[in-house]
Amino acid sequence: MNFALVSRLLSVVMVILALAFATCYAVTLLLDTGSEEPVTSNAFLFSIAISIVAALGLYFIGRKASSRFFRREALSIIGLGWILSSLVGCVPYLLITPEIGIAGAIFESVSGLTTTGASVLTNLEELPKSLLFWRSLSQWIGGMGVVVFFVAILGFLGAGAKLLYSNEASGSTSEFEESRVQSTILKLIYIYAGLSVACAIAYRLAGMNWFDSICHMFATVASGGFSTRSGSIMDFHSPAIEMVGIVFMILAAISFPLILSMLYGRWNRVKSNTELIGFFLILGLSVVTIAGVIIIDGTDQNLLHSLRSSTFQTVSIMTTTGFASEDFAQWSALPQSLLLVLMVIGGCSGSTAGGIKVNRLIVALRLCALTIERSFRSRVVRQVRMNNRVLSEQATQDIVMYLILTGVIFLFSVQLASLFETNFQMGTNLSAVHACFFNIGPGFAEVGPTETYAPFHTRTKLLLSLLMIMGRLELYAILALFAPSLWRSLD
């Protein structure tokens, strides 16, 4: 392990956080009023100081680092980067809202940076605007982190770019030619920034004020879900705002390299993208099914309103954003169970969305069909294809192992949560683990869209925080940290 290099690159993460806290400090001076202004200004100044000291310390340790960069350095930087960011990011919550405790502050910080959107805070309208801004900004940074870290900002040191992207996308890395990694990264960042600007303007034109527009933009393009209102999007009572949210949540859940192909006019690549077709097919069928059921069972007799609410909630859940335009916890069993499935599936690879990703689902279904066929045609030889490309045996095996590992961790975590939370019914514990592990945010039962995670015990909040990071980083970057062989020094 090249510890010095890892330290030096982690210092960059701390610098980014310092800049983010400085922005929040500016918001404090502009928007916070009365007795809250000294508290918030001191909190963010202290956060800036911690970030700068950490950055200087980490850089000093790694100032003479060699540029040897391999898989274990990549995984270490990603895993440690998110953990360190979450710990430093909890400082404003701890200083401004001390009543939530250390575990609550860590939970809120992790939820923001992993773009999960679960919260322990109540009465958001009474919180300082600078803290609301930090909640939303942290999600935007987290969404950028997924795009940048996984798509290869660390690739400036070599082949790590394609390595990191392949871990995130679980498929082909042909979108990136190694010789042009840096320029491709910049283009993806431009796309993210462009979507952000367009989304903020669209929310403003739809009726939000500038503060709400910017905060909700941060959460939308990051597939995050934090809102400035306790009732989320439903508090605005605006079809126009919901429509803006639908459009940009979908765009954020599409593979960013594929959006880049669209901008270049490479429509053949778009038309042949199996994952994109599957994403819209699942989304469309789910919208129609949920709308039909809530009309038939009498939940909503208004056809247009049913289509509007089912479309928004289906998009919000499948993209793992987690905004709420309705209290979907009050819907009947079938729509709720369908939303649970969509929470697991998530969006497309290479996007800001969470979940197992549509491409893994498609590959898993094709492998199941192939296995069934081989049960009565043992000599059949077929290749699994994605996006008109044949997947290697190693790629399909990696997907199967990832899904198995995900299932094992999920089931084990439900047991732990049930052990910790004896006062809650099993459905609440299962929903909490489900919503946090797959980076959704709101769930069902006692963690529904109008509830918070505040009642959970300290150990449960820390467990859910770890699950949020694991779900965001697709397991390996965190699990690898517990492998002793990862920490062996360079020869």
DSSP characters for 100-146? GHHHHHHHHHHHHHTT--------GGGS-HHHHHHHHHHHHHHHHHI
Q: At what angle do helices 129-145 and 181-206 cross, to 10 degrees?
A: 140
Name the band, by pLDDT with cuts 50, 70 and 90, for residue 301.
low
Q: Is 390 helix (H, G, I), strand (E, B) or coil?
A: strand
CA atoms within a 13 Å half-sphere pointing along the CA-CB vector of 478: 17
Let me know the angle formed at the C-alpha of 24 by 50 and 136, rounded to the nearest 5 degrees: 105
Residue 490 has pLDDT above 80, yes or no: no
Give the pLDDT of residue 51. Answer: 96
Residue 164 has pLDDT above 90, yes or no: no
Token output for 105: 């502050």
Q: What average pLDDT score do residues 81-97 get? A: 95
User: What is the tens place of the pLDDT at every residue in 231-267?
Assistant: 999 999 999 999 999 999 999 999 988 998 898 888 8
Name the band, by pLDDT with cuts 50, 70 and 90, for residue 381.
confident
Give the pLDDT of residue 491. Answer: 47
Q: What average pLDDT score do residues 432-436 get? A: 95
Burial of residue 415, with CB atoms counted within 10 A of its CB: 0-12 exposed, 13-18 middle, 19 or more buried: exposed
Q: What average pLDDT score do residues 316-340 get? A: 91
Q: At what angle do helices 426-437 and 333-345 cross, to 10 degrees?
A: 30
Burial of residue 101, with CB atoms counted within 10 A of its CB: 0-12 exposed, 13-18 middle, 19 or more buried: middle
Give me the sign of the Cα torsion angle 383, 474, 79, 192.
positive
Residue 151 has pLDDT above 60, yes or no: no
DSSP state, residue 231: T
Give me the sign of the Cα torsion angle 166, 167, 168, 171.
positive
Residue 9 has pLDDT above 80, yes or no: yes
d(CA 386, CA 172): 9
Strand partners, 385: 390
| Candidate from 12-16, 112-116, 218-222 with smallest mean pLDDT | 12-16
User: What is the tens place of the pLDDT at every residue in 193-214?
Assistant: 999 999 999 999 999 999 999 9
Name the band, by pLDDT with cuts 50, 70 and 90, for residue 86.
very high
- Please report, rounded to a whole number, the percentage of residues in the chain having pLDDT higher than 90: 58
Name the band, by pLDDT with cuts 50, 70 and 90, for residue 101.
very high
| Candidate from 31-35, 112-116, 150-154 with smallest mean pLDDT | 150-154
Give the pLDDT of residue 120. Answer: 96
d(CA 95, CA 139): 20
Give the pLDDT of residue 201. Answer: 98
Give the pLDDT of residue 440. Answer: 93
Name the band, by pLDDT with cuts 50, 70 and 90, for residue 373.
confident
DSSP state, residue 127: S
Give the pLDDT of residue 435. Answer: 94
Name the band, by pLDDT with cuts 50, 70 and 90, for residue 94.
very high
User: What is the tens place of the pLDDT at every residue in 461-480?
Assistant: 999 999 999 998 768 778 88
Residue 176 has pLDDT above 60, yes or no: no
d(CA 236, CA 263): 33
Helix H or strand E segment including 166:
helix 160-169
The pTM for the full model equals 0.91
Residue 172 has pLDDT above 70, yes or no: no
Give the pLDDT of residue 480. Answer: 83
Residue 445 has pLDDT above 70, yes or no: yes
Q: What average pLDDT score do residues 217-242 get? A: 94
Name the band, by pLDDT with cuts 50, 70 and 90, for residue 489.
low
Residue 157 has pLDDT above 50, yes or no: no
Long-range contact pairs involving 32-36 (C-beta distance under 8 Å, separation at least 24): 32/128, 32/129, 32/130, 36/128
Other beta carbons less than 10 A from residue 443's beta carbon: 28
Phi-psi map region of 445: left, alpha, beta (phi>0 left; psi -120 to 50 alpha) = left
